Structure 1
């Protein structure tokens, strides 16, 4: 690892020599300039410059000129100003123009070392942050959404167009179709990519806590509110808030969300005034919001506010042409991360996978590939390697489903029977029953109340 490179610009020979004696033993690579002109030349010619230390008063080309040139050509390189008596005001002005800090003459050697070490640490953190953001941008780009079907090509085209704007987006689709992945792609392709992306699963937070989690609260708003807490809307300021399972929001939270979307004002619990926020909201749900509106469980005005720019992710069974591409991508990732040797799929095995109904969509396919990379010792997937539920009776298509109408039951009677069976199998455990039925706890409670089930 190379030592940090420092450009030191000082027109006084004695001071320049002192700085060299102080900084050289710290392991820094020093570039010394005796004039502002020399400093600008080294600034242009030197690659890998980590920090600039410059006197404020240098002659024709001042330390402020060096600062301005550095901010234009090397905006990530911190500049430390050395100022003499009577020029502190100018040094403060330099900080307003982007200098990292200043130190007054006579220079305290230990203070100088601490300031330089701190500036270099801040720069390293900034570089790490930039690298992390670049990695996230690559990881969640639209190119990483694997697909070959025309349906998904159209979804990605529309999403890329929406990413160029600040519109509110509503993503719909069954569980496991990749709604959060699409939301992240929109964020990292937008002008807000440098800001935070805050994700909230509305179904994963108890209804009693959801409002305070989203909008925050002031000290004393309720018994345990010992101090104020910012909500997720405030944490997402200058970025994107992703609200998953938006259909699980309480009526009160829905009303507050509507105001945020219309006025960009957040009202914390117990607060006397709204707080302005600069955010973009992306919502997602696996439920049919129009049905929830008709049942009185979702505000009609909020639905129309959200549904202006909808994106629907089709289920995997409706885009079986994507299965091979997804399978190959998952196998490649497993080989890269864990060194697995499973790389190919036989035509017969692929046919089985394309006939399967995939109720869990892409997530279920990914889990199946994970199982195959552990259990299969060959380099090609054949039908006998597939899990039993994929190649056996569980691998049903819509054509293979039993003729439910032959039972003579109405939709309401069939739904009630399913609820009763799930509750009976789980001894009345609502959480377990909701998992069996693949619905959220709140949805199950609503349907239990609708059918007058205890």
Structure 2
């Protein structure tokens, strides 16, 4: 069984089993397919030799970290998990933990037939986490066929994932090939070559920050910082110091100098998210910065030159806000030199299947067991919705369905339990979106022991976005 503390060592206990430091010494080893082994210390020499003759290179890591290292270094697609006999609850939990930590592998289990009957969790583990299982005593030929089948399915799954990424996943880390998204990709490519301000507009949850990051990552500034500021999360009284910094002693509590977010982004890109929420006083200072590219910290006397590109995003109609006096017209002209309007999900229905598969794949580590995609009726159901919360709502729905799904694929029934039908009143749907979002955040925070950083990674959002969601739904750390 793997442990969490042992170091990399060679395993000479089974014939034909080699350690990572002995790999690649022969042409035969180089051509063999690597197979990860959990347990099986007493694997008979004849079985190991038979697997080697069938073209397998057997790797037995002693720690989970070593297993991950092997997967990074070698093209490992399948694993062989030997469950001890008798099997205890703690041993089964450890095997399950390791298998779930390596979701890209297809697994075959080896265990005693009586264990399947006697241990209530063994059968559930096989159904939820293994591609196949082999009952003791080991038949090398049958075991080789089972492992080969698992390898082949993993290879097909990876090829499908790559083709989905190339064909449906599109470009710049974004997903979709609808006409609307192809226009977005073309604009990202053009705008990344300039240093002009970009204004990204669109409904909540349409992926505005993702597009901003894509522009940065494909620009000449990619190696420099990308700094995002949520203007709605900063009180008006602090907006000036957050943006432009503050000199030591500039105000009560300013015991040290603060360089501000604009200077933090030196050489890179500053994203002003929800720019429509920025206080008018801060808007005036931002306009001065855009005109001369210098910042003067609060309490400071001398301007400091800063080289950053500014991207702003909003779900508001800034032209209407300017007409009402809530947004400076001159600042709008400065920000709106290049613009991108993100399409709502209802205008890119052809992308929903690829998006749903992407969200399910990304959530794999946070789900209680591995799922193998969606049924066709699930895709039909997803396409029939209007998704007022856009990508964020779709992602939350997919994650919630994955958390509740007890079989191999997510069905329309799994999805419809979580969300009213499209004929429901608009407000009811939005309430349902909020409820789904809140429940998803609460469950992941709880499963991660209150770790905000890990929960943000599982949700594929920034820490700032997660904090904003926690504040929105009054969620406290567990």
> Shorter-chain-normalised TM-score: which range?
0.5 to 0.7
Corresponding residue number in structure 1 for 2:336: 307
Aligned to 1:344, the other structure's residue is in SS state coil
Q: 2:370 aligns with which of 341, 361, 369?
A: 341
Corresponding residue number in structure 1 for 2:181: 152
Aligned to 1:143, the other structure's residue is in SS state coil
Q: Which entry has the higher C-alpha Rg, 1 or 2?
A: 1
Aligned to 2:381, the other structure's residue is in SS state helix
Q: 2:310 aligns with which of 273, 276, 281?
A: 281
Between the aligned partners of 1:222 and 1:337, the Cα distance in structure 2 is: 44
Residues matched between the structures, number: 268
Is the Cα contact below 8 Å between 2:172 and 2:185 reproduced in 1?
A: no
Corresponding residue number in structure 2 for 1:325: 354
Q: 1:316 aligns with which of 345, 351, 369?
A: 345
Is the Cα contact below 8 Å between 1:244 and 1:283 reproduced in 2?
A: yes
1:199-251 deviations in whole A, cap 9, x for unaligned?
10000111111111111111222222223210101111111111100011111
Between the aligned partners of 1:341 and 1:374, the Cα distance in structure 2 is: 10
Aligned to 1:381, the other structure's residue is in SS state coil
Between the aligned partners of 1:271 and 1:215, the Cα distance in structure 2 is: 10
State whether structure 2 residue 248 is matched by structure 1 residue 219.
Answer: yes
Q: 1:208 aligns with which of 237, 241, 245?
A: 237
Taking structure 1 as the reference length, the TM-score comes to 0.55
Between the aligned partners of 1:396 and 1:346, the Cα distance in structure 2 is: 27
Corresponding residue number in structure 1 for 2:295: 266
Deviation at 1:310, TM superposition (A): 0.3
Q: 2:213 aligns with which of 169, 184, 188?
A: 184
1:375-418 deviations in whole A, cap 9, x for unaligned?
112222222111435353665689x99xxxxxxxxxxxxxxxxx
State whether structure 2 residue 274 is matched by structure 1 residue 245.
Answer: yes
Is the Cα contact below 8 Å between 2:397 and 2:418 reproduced in 1?
A: no
1:15-62 deviations in whole A, cap 9, x for unaligned?
xxxxxxxxxxxxxxxxxxxxxxxxxxxxxxxxxxxxxxxxxxxxxxxx
Corresponding residue number in structure 1 for 2:392: 363
1:50-89 deviations in whole A, cap 9, x for unaligned?
xxxxxxxxxxxxxxxxxxxxxxxxxxxxxxxxxxxxxxxx
Corresponding residue number in structure 2 for 1:64: none
Between the aligned partners of 2:170 and 2:214, the Cα distance in structure 1 is: 5
Is the Cα contact below 8 Å between 1:256 and 1:267 reproduced in 2?
A: no
Corresponding residue number in structure 1 for 2:101: none
Is the Cα contact below 8 Å between 2:386 and 2:422 reproduced in 1?
A: no
Residues 22-421 of structure 1 mapped to structure 2, 5 A cutoff: 142-335=171-364, 340-392=369-421
Deviation at 1:350, TM superposition (A): 1.8
Is the Cα contact below 8 Å between 1:356 and 1:395 reproduced in 2?
A: no
Between the aligned partners of 2:323 and 2:227, the Cα distance in structure 1 is: 30
Aligned to 2:233, the other structure's residue is in SS state coil
Between the aligned partners of 2:223 and 2:297, the Cα distance in structure 1 is: 26
Aligned to 2:340, the other structure's residue is in SS state strand
Between the aligned partners of 2:222 and 2:366, the Cα distance in structure 1 is: 27
Between the aligned partners of 1:334 and 1:196, the Cα distance in structure 2 is: 27
Aligned to 1:242, the other structure's residue is in SS state strand
Corresponding residue number in structure 2 for 1:406: none
Corresponding residue number in structure 1 for 2:109: none
Which piece of structure 1 moves more, 371-380 or 309-318?
371-380
1:211–1:384 CA distance, 2 compared to 1 (3 A):
same
Between the aligned partners of 2:341 and 2:292, the Cα distance in structure 1 is: 27
Corresponding residue number in structure 2 for 1:68: none
1:169–1:282 CA distance, 2 compared to 1 (3 A):
same
1:337–1:224 CA distance, 2 compared to 1 (3 A):
closer
Q: Which runs of 5+ in 1 are unaligned?
A: 3-139, 402-430, 437-454
Is the Cα contact below 8 Å between 1:355 and 1:395 reproduced in 2?
A: no
Is the Cα contact below 8 Å between 2:367 and 2:403 reproduced in 1?
A: no
